[in-house]
Amino acid sequence: MAAFALTNRLQQLRRRAKPESRGKLRVAPRSIYILPTRQGMLLALLLLLMLAGSINYGSNLGHLMTFLLGGIWLITILHTWRNLLGLTIQPGEAASVFAGQTADFTLRVVNNSKTNRYGIALSAMRQPGGTVDIAADCGAELHIPVNTQHRGILPIPEITIHTTFPFGLFRAWSYAQLDLSCLVYPKPAAQGEPPTKAIYNHSDSGDRGVGADDFIGLRSYRLGDSPRQIDWKAHARERGLMSKQFGGDRSDQVSLDWELLKEYETEQRLSLLCRFILQAEEREQSYSLRMPGEKIATGSGPLHQQRCLSLLARYGYDDETAG
Amino acid sequence: MKQPVDFTLTPGFITKLSLMMGMALLPHVANVPINISLYLLLLLAWRILGLYIDKLQPGRLLLFAVTLISIFIVYSQYQTLLGRDAGVALLGMMLLLKVNEIRKRRDIYVSVFISYFVVITQFLFSQSAVLSLYLFSVVIGLTSLLMEINRVTPSSKVYRPLIATFKITLQALPVAMVLFIVFPRITQPLWNFSSEASARTGLDDRVTPGAISDLIESSEVAFRVQFQQPPPEKKQLYWRGLVLWDSDGFSWYTDEKRPLGRETIKLWMIDNPIKYEIFLEPHDERWLFALDIPLEAPPRSRLTHDFQLLYNDRVTKPISYSLHSLSRYSMNRISPGQRRRALDLAENITQRQRNLVAQWKAASNSDREVVEQALRYFNTELFIYTLSPPRYQTNPVEEFLFEGMAGFCEHYATSFTQLMRIAGIPSRLVLGYQGGEYNALGDYFIIRQYHAHAWSEVWLEGQGWVRIDPTAAVAPERVEYSLRRDFAGQGAPAMFEIDGGGALDSVLRHFTHALDNANIQWRRWIVGYSREHQFTLMRNFGVDSYTSMQWSFITLGILAIVLLLVGLTIIRQGRLLLSPAQRVYQRFCNKLSSIGISRRSYEGPLDFAQRAARNRPDLASQISAIADLYIELRYASQENDRRQQRLFARRVRQFRPRAR
């Protein structure tokens, strides 16, 4: 309990750099922490050993060399600190991903100073991001990959910007709160068909729907096709992976409804809906989505898909934030 | 995910690392036996070739076996794994084996750190300025490797990281100097391994025929001397080292089992004492050198009754000390014990010698006249002064005096001393150096091994111990000029170097003197810096003990100031770049501040403009126009819009507020 209180207190003591206007953040002198790395401590230990040796053999130059290395050790603190000082971090967008995939946060680090900066690294949630060198008055883009596990809004409460330049003896770092987040779509369910009566519309282009009844031909394999659809004979004849296509349903409009999946629990429902949306896009069907309290009208295309998936991802979140 | 290890573990980088390690080890070639050096070279070559030829890549098992072999080699060479010499050999092998198993970045750090350690060990063997400069650059090279692995892309130019590291090292130098000056010097070793005296050239405490002529081959520096007043003539520079009392008819020595007892000797000065400072090279012996008769003992040494200076330990590192000496003096008395010992004769005195002395005694009325007779004898008989005399094997004095008649200072001095004893004049042999080479650049004398000399002291009633140099009677040039070392063959007469040779000689001498001067300053201020210097310095601050709290305060205070100054220079280098718009805006702020409206650190441009406009409604329109332009330029990422930029600059230029 006491330990918890202490860490809590330490958390409060940490000076996080707060973003300036427009979400930019400049690493301020007093928000930089610095501690020796493992190598830095090893060298310090070795220097003590060297000093003992120099004293023992009464070697003045041994003293001098030890002190010179000790001086370098000390001066490095300032250099490591300065390597981080004044860098500006500009958050970028993180593209939405499905749960289980890796979200890629892109940030831009700008060096507005007259000196080159080397080995600048970012990390978030204990996951290391990239490292870059940034020349004077230049900027560089850095990616932080973060593994996602759950659907919803993945917040990145703080980013750590750090460096061990010049000699890896010290690590300087600063915490940046940039209000980054990534929308994580539900993980699509493995397989399934929407439990809905497809609406049959007459189409001028004829019978090009997708169904399960009549075999209508082969097309090349697409990601997500069931193995049962694959024409294995064609594959054996070395014609590549082909999927059998079945037609006859002629359904080109699907209405997806939260209420129709009552037998599943919430996350499972969202997963299924996600799969259905992807399927519908795949089959070039148009679809509508009805969620509790919200309905997205029939449509199709990437933008529509994104709206629908976002609705799934945010399910339950808006209430929480409101509450 | 891109990790910055990409280029650090490439053969190219590891080759560089291995070569730097080789450079750190290189000076040890002079310190370890040749077979260890060759073995180290083999390990280095194996490593570098292994990077390029897969077949030579050692497996773990082989590496382990080679490690055992290395330990065995060191043990069989030194019969121990501890101590300086064995430790260094072992360290070198471990270092070169370590590069063979670099797999992670951490291994690179460890390799570089061990190399630092190797660099330090070099100073246990030599502390010369040249070596230090070399090792300083090796350290920069090693450290620059660390810089390279802490950046992402390799540097475009090879020398860039070197220069950057050099700059950081220069910034560290003041810190190092402060610590060097104030860090307490502990004179007792913390631990002790068996003494490992290396063979050094220098005087021996026993004079056997040929002992000194061996030394003449060496131009190594024995010590350097700086006079605090005009120096005496060169032929008066007799540097007393040790005094030998006993002879067995073959060699001269001082029998430690025959103590001479303590006694006080009264000295009367005839001239004022001469003040000078000596910078002694380590010679692994206890005696210190002084001009003629030293009047006091330097710290950590004592003055014996026969005016030898004995250091408390062997001199294993360069030391310096100040002294007063008398060249002209008189003494009161000699104790019976001393007199007896100074008349002791070896058993192989021949009748021929006794007859010779009897002749001199018959022709003179006093001891002084006997001495003069003897010197005249050496001068008028056909004695030859030579560096390569015939070998006198059974009775050196007898053979030299009556058969060979060719010899070196040791022959003259030993024979003379023995003859004086036969004549009943107390006498003893003094060993030291004579003369010196003047370095005009640094205003000091260099005394080299080939200045080694032996002479005699006789007791003359009313005068005390008087220095007599029989060699000077034979070859007065010896004491006026230095010996030339390029003598020709057996039995050839010695040649002397006379100042003012050819132009080339003089240029060469000038150059070597400049080099030696740099070296002695190095010796004096860095290598020879001691507890005594430290205390002299700290006494200026009123501190006279390590345990005094002020010592730590002063240390920390100076260190803090130095760090602050260095820190400021580092921070200044990293000043932020202002964009053109920011610079113009800065001018605008300055103008407003001149009429009493200053921007506060927390105020954004908009807040500031509003406040300024409220304060000066008459300027409000101008102020807000400028602020709008600035905000647009700066925050709407239009910084590159030239026209906007020019408009903004013009507005600010035209803005000329006046105080009300």
Q: Is A79 on the interface with B (CB under 8 A)?
A: yes
CA angle B283, B288, B293 (to 5 degrees): 150
Whether residue A86 lies within 8 A of chain B, CB to CB, comes out as yes
Average confidence (pLDDT) over A202-226: 58
Residues 6+ positions from A200 with CB-CB distance below 8 Å = A250, A251
Write B19-24 long-range contacts (CB < 8 A, 24+).
B19/B48, B20/B115, B20/B138, B20/B141, B20/B142, B20/B145, B21/B95, B21/B96, B21/B99, B21/B111, B21/B115, B21/B118, B23/B138, B23/B141, B24/B95, B24/B115, B24/B118, B24/B119, B24/B135, B24/B138, B24/B142
- For chain B, give the mean pLDDT: 82
The answer to whether the CB atoms of B190 and A164 lie below 8 A apart is no
Closest C-alpha to B183, from B542, B567, B537: B537
In angstroms, what CA-CA distances link A306 with A62, A100, A150, A320, B242?
68, 18, 18, 22, 100
Q: Does B654 touch chain A (CB under 8 A)?
A: no
Percent of chain B with pLDDT over 70: 87
Q: pLDDT band at A17, cuts 50/70/90?
A: low
Query: Buried b / exposed e across B534-545, counting CB within 10 Å, b at 16+?
Result: beeebeeeebee
Contacts of residue B659, defined as CB under 8 A and 6 or more positions apart, other chains included, come to: B594, B595, B596
Ranking A193-197, B60-64, B385-389, B399-403 by mean pLDDT, the lowest is A193-197
For chain B positions 101-120, those within 8 Å of chain A (CB to CB) are: 105-106, 109-110, 113, 116-117, 119-120
Predicted complex ipTM exceeds 0.90: no
Q: For B202-236, how does the pLDDT look when each residue is reduced to its tens digit (9 = 90+)?
A: 778 888 766 666 666 677 788 989 898 888 888 88
pLDDT of residue B134: 95
Neighbouring-strand partners of residue A132? A120
Tokens standing for residue B570: 């580092």
CA A211 to chain centre: 37
Q: Is the pTM of this model over 0.80?
A: no
For residues B655 and B650, give the distance between their C-alpha atoms in angstroms, rounded to a whole number.
Answer: 8
Longest dimension (CA), chain A: 100
State the average pLDDT over residues A248-271: 76
Residue B500 has pLDDT above 50, yes or no: no
A19-23, A30-34, A264-268, B396-400: lowest mean pLDDT where? A19-23
Q: Which of A50, A55, A167 sits opposite B147 (nearest CB)?
A: A167
Pick among B1, B98, B115, B120 to test the A interface (most A CBs inside 10 A): B120
Q: Does B129 touch chain A (CB under 8 A)?
A: no
Instruction: Give the highest mean pLDDT range of A107-111, B7-11, B266-270.
Output: A107-111
Give the number of other CB atoms < 10 A from CB of residue B338: 21
Contact criterion met (CB < 8 Å) for A78 and B571: yes
Q: What is the CA radius of gyration of chain B?
A: 37
User: Which SS3 state, helix, strand or coil, does residue B199 take?
Assistant: coil
Residue keyed to tokens 């820190």: B567
**CB proximity B525 to A under 8 Å:** no
Residue B249 to residue B252: CA distance in whole angstroms: 8
Q: In whole angstroms, give the CA distance from residue A185 to residue B260.
A: 103
Among chain B residues, CA nearest to A40: B109
pLDDT at A5 over 80: no
pLDDT above 60 (res B501): no
Instruction: Find chain B residues with C-beta within 8 A of A46's C-beta.
Output: 113, 116-117
Q: How confident is the model at residue B487 (pLDDT cuts 50, 70, 90)?
A: very low
Q: Do B567 and A145 make contact, defined as CB atoms within 8 angstroms?
A: no
Residue range A46-68: average pLDDT?
90
A84–B contact, CB cutoff 8 A? no
Retrieve residue A255's tokens.
């209405």
Which of A43, A75, A133 is the closest to B152 by Cβ? A133
pLDDT in tens, A172-198: 999 888 878 888 998 888 777 766 554
Cβ neighbours, 10 Å, residue A169: 25
Read off the pLDDT of each residue in A116-135 and give the average, rounded to a whole number: 88
Whether residue B390 contacts residue B406, with contact meaning beta carbons closer than 8 Å, is answered with yes
The strand pairing partners of B224, in sequence order, are B279, B446
pLDDT of residue B2: 38
For residue A63, list chain B residues with Cβ-Cβ distance below 8 A.
179-180, 183
For residue A78, which residues of chain B lie inside 8 Å, CB to CB? 566-567, 570-571
Sheet strand arrangement including B287-288 = B287-288, B309-311, B301-303
Query: So what's the pLDDT on residue B116?
Result: 95
| Residue in B123, B189, B635 closest to A62 by CB | B123
A52 touches chain B (CB under 8 A): yes
Kindly list the residues from chain B whose CB atom is less than 8 angstroms away from the CB atom of residue A166: 146-147, 150, 164-165, 168
How far apart, in Å, do the first and last CA atoms of chain A sit?
29
Asked if A62 reaches chain B (Cβ–Cβ under 8 Å), the answer is yes
Judged by a CB distance cut-off of 8 A, whether residue B402 touches chain A is no
Could A58 and B189 be called an inter-chain contact, meaning their C-beta atoms sit closer than 8 Å?
yes
Asked if B204 and B560 count as a contact pair (C-beta separation under 8 A), the reply is no
Q: pLDDT by residue (tens digit) across B163-204?
A: 999 999 999 999 999 899 888 887 655 555 444 444 556 778
Query: Cis peptide before B336, with omega less than 30 degrees from 0?
Result: no
Query: In B, which residues are within 8 Å of A52 by CB distance?
Result: 190
Q: For residue B450, what is the DSSP state? A: G
Q: Pick from B113, B526, B604: which is nearest to A60 by CB?
A: B526
- Inter-chain residue contact B570 with A82, CB threshold 8 Å: yes
Instruction: Give the one of B1, B174, B577 whose C-beta lies nearest to A114's C-beta.
Output: B577
Is the pLDDT score of B527 beyond 50?
yes
Tens of pLDDT, residue by residue over B585-623, are: 878 888 887 788 877 766 778 888 888 888 888 888 888
CB-CB under 8 Å, A70 with B179: yes
- Average model confidence (pLDDT) across chain A: 80
